[in-house]
Amino acid sequence: MRLFKSIGIALLLALTLALPSQALTLDPENTLYLETKHGRVVIKLRPDLAPKHVERIKKLTREKFYDGIVFHRVIEGFMAQTGDPTGTGTGSSKYPDVEAEFNHMPFVRGTVGAARSQNPNSANSQFFICFADAQFLNRQYTAWGEVVEGMEFVDKIKRGEPPTNPDKIVSMRIAADVN
């Protein structure tokens, strides 16, 4: 009997270690599925840190605003930027800009932040995903999410400012809305 109990505990431990820890704690209402031609990127939204930015991203996502939008600025060793319907880096949504919500989340590999102009309160629809440590952005840009799965697909996004034949967001959805 002790042998079966030991095997059961070992099996449970092995299964727990095999599963990504985030998969057990993700809230479907605050999880984005960003589909690229390379694969799915799963982003954990952080309304606890940037509620207005998360609200805007969710609103635009539910309107399918991001579907087909290009990654217009992709800098090796830094970040991939998207969210501009014009593909130039100067466009935004039909909604007013969002005020800065600077927070303690560091800009490291996988951090998702709001792109903006020189004006700290000019974030709208554009965002970026960090390829690497970019802590010089800390408390100067709003961090609102983190890639928890699929960073290898972000790494495959075509580089350039702008890239020639840029990669696109195939679709972006809130996990709670996906059947």
Residue 97 CA to residue 125 CA, distance in Å, equals 8
| Alpha carbon separation from 163 to 53, 71, 80, 89, 154 (Å, rounded) | 27, 8, 11, 12, 14
**Which of 22, 21, 20 has its CA nearest to residue 31?**
22
Judged against a pLDDT cut of 90, whether residue 7 lies above it is answered with: no
**Percent of the chain's residues with pLDDT above 90:** 85
- What is the pLDDT, as a whole number, of residue 179? 72
pLDDT above 50: residue 10: no
pTM, whole model, 2 decimals?
Answer: 0.87
- Lowest mean per-residue pLDDT among 11-20, 75-84, 131-140: 11-20
Query: For residue 24, what pLDDT is reported?
Result: 60
**What domains, with CATH codes, occur in the chain?**
24-177 (2.40.100.10)
User: How do strand 171-174 and strand 31-35 relate by DSSP bridges?
Assistant: antiparallel
Mean pLDDT estimate for the chain: 91
pLDDT of residue 73: 98
Sole residue written with tokens 């495959």: 156
Residues 6+ apart with CB under 8 A from 157: 36, 38, 71, 74, 80, 167
Nearest to 126 by CA among 117, 135, 134, 138: 117
pLDDT at 57: 98
Report pLDDT for 76: 98
Over residues 24-66, the pLDDT tens digits come to 689 999 999 999 999 999 999 999 999 999 999 999 999 999 9
- Quick: pLDDT tens for 119-153: 999 999 999 999 999 999 999 999 999 999 999 99
Give the pLDDT score at 2: 54
